[in-house]
Structure formats: C-alpha cells, structure tokens
Chains A and B, each alone.
Chain A
Amino acid sequence: MNPEASVVDNVIDTVSAVFLVVGALMSLAAAVGLLRFPDLLSRMHAATKPQVLGLFLLLAAIGLQLRTWWVWPVLLVAWIFQLLTVPVSAHMVGRAGYRTKHLHRELLSSDELDAVVQKAAQSARDESSRDEASDGGRP
C-alpha cells in the first residue's frame, strides 16, 4: 500500500467520523427540543432534525466507510423513502394537533389556516341549514 492511499484513507475516515458524530448530535438536539419546547408544533420542528439531516449524514458515513460503489444506490433509496414518508406523518400529526387545539396560539406569528377553517365551517353550516329547509323539517 503506497503512502498516498493511506493518506486518502485517513481523510475518508476522518470525514466519516465527523459525519457520525454530527448525525448523532442531531438526535440529541431533537431530544433537547422535545424536552424544552413549549407546544406540539415547535416540538415537531425539533423532531425532524434526526429524521432527515441526521439520517443523511449517517448514511453518507456508511457509504464512505464501506468504500464500495454499489451501496450508494441502496442508501439513496433509504433516504428518499424517508423524505417521502416523513412529511406524510408530520402533516397528519400537525393537522390533528391543530384541530384538537394542542398549540399555544399566542406563539404563532401568523395563522393562515384559521381563515380556511372558519370558511369551511361557515359553508358546512350553510349546507346543513339548506338541507333542513329542503327536507321540510324531517330529521
């Protein structure tokens, strides 16, 4: 083994070690955010850190450590599926949290959903009153 290759090896090892430690720190940041933040929506903000950036750093560290080209597509598949599925669960949790009033409204800087919800409730009320009128009072 020539000395240049071992220098490259050392550089790759160092980079992947940094990726591993930073990726683990993302998990710690999420835990600290879960413990310190006041309501559900700000905790959701902290919880996404290890799911996207942390997973990316750790998968990159795996690819750097194994030094084979064919693991990279598999790692990319794992990361892309994570990118596709995490917003789905975040959307559902955020929606349920908004609907069940699990948020501190005074901490919001703007609430664009409020107008939409008011409008939908208004149109639902109109719909039901029109139904009752056309039914002739039948239940």
Chain B
Amino acid sequence: MMQTVLAVTAVILSLAAAGAIIRISRGPSLLDRVLASDVLLAILGAALCIDMAVNRHLNNLMLLVALSIVGFIGSVTVARFVADRREQANES
C-alpha cells in the first residue's frame, strides 16, 4: 500500500511543483515570484516528509527542522527590498 501512496503523492507533488514553477516564470510581479518560490519550498519539504514516512527513516528530519526555521528569511528580505525601492521611486 505504501508504494501506491508513494506513486500517487509523487504525481501530485510533481504537478504542484510544475504549477509553482509556471507561476515563478510567468508571475507578473516580483512578489508573486517570491510567493511561488515559498510554495516550491513547502512542496520540497512535503517531498522530504513523504520520503521519510514511506521508507521509515529519519535522515531528513533535521533538514526539515532547519528548513522551517530559516525558510522565511529569503522572502522577508526580498519583500523588504521591494518596499524600499518602490518608495524611493515614488519620492523622486
């Protein structure tokens, strides 16, 4: 049963990652791309979780904890700089 679950979730996550990548490449603004890359990170974490659950090991667990601790820094940084640049452009 676990192998079936692995196949089904692999298909689902591949479709989801394709959707997020399409939004990254198309996305009209920079913030849309940041948001879609956050979703891509969540999909990657989901893939790590499913690998651990199906194969019953814990090799990725610390990677997952580190991902949930530092994963937000990138989008915060980009959002901060977007706000700064647009405000200066409005002033000048």
Contacts and interface: CB of A to CB of B under 8 A. Distances in A.
B32 A89 contact: no
A34 B43 contact: no
Nearest to B84: A96
A93 B58 contact: no
Contacts of B5: 17, 20-21
Given A62-B49, A74-B65, A34 B31 contact: no
A85 B68 contact: yes
B18 to A, nearest CB: 7
Given A35-B22, A89-B72, A61 B49 contact: yes
Contacts of B76: 88-89, 92
A40 B58 contact: no
B31 A24 contact: no
**Interface residues of A, dominant DSSP:** helix
A59 B61 CA distance: 10
What interface size band does chain B fall in? 35 or more
Interface of B: 1-2, 5, 8-9, 12-13, 15-20, 22-23, 29, 31-32, 34-36, 38-39, 42-43, 45-46, 49-50, 52-54, 56, 58, 61, 64-65, 68-69, 71-72, 75-76, 79-80, 82-83, 86-87
Interface of A: 13-14, 16-17, 20-21, 23-28, 30-32, 34-35, 40, 43-44, 47, 50-51, 54-55, 58-59, 61-62, 64-66, 71, 74-75, 77-79, 81-82, 85-86, 88-89, 92-93, 95-97, 99-100, 102
